[in-house]
Amino acid sequence: MYAFTKKIQLLEHTRRYSILTTDVGWEVREERDSQLVRQATYQDWHRVERAKRSIANELDDLQTQGWAEVQ
Give residue 37's pLDDT.
Answer: 97
Give residue 68's pLDDT.
Answer: 98
Are 2 and 21 spatial neighbours (Cβ–Cβ below 8 Å)? Answer: yes
pLDDT in tens, 20-43: 999 999 999 999 999 999 999 999
The closest alpha carbon to 28, from 14, 48, 10, belongs to: 48
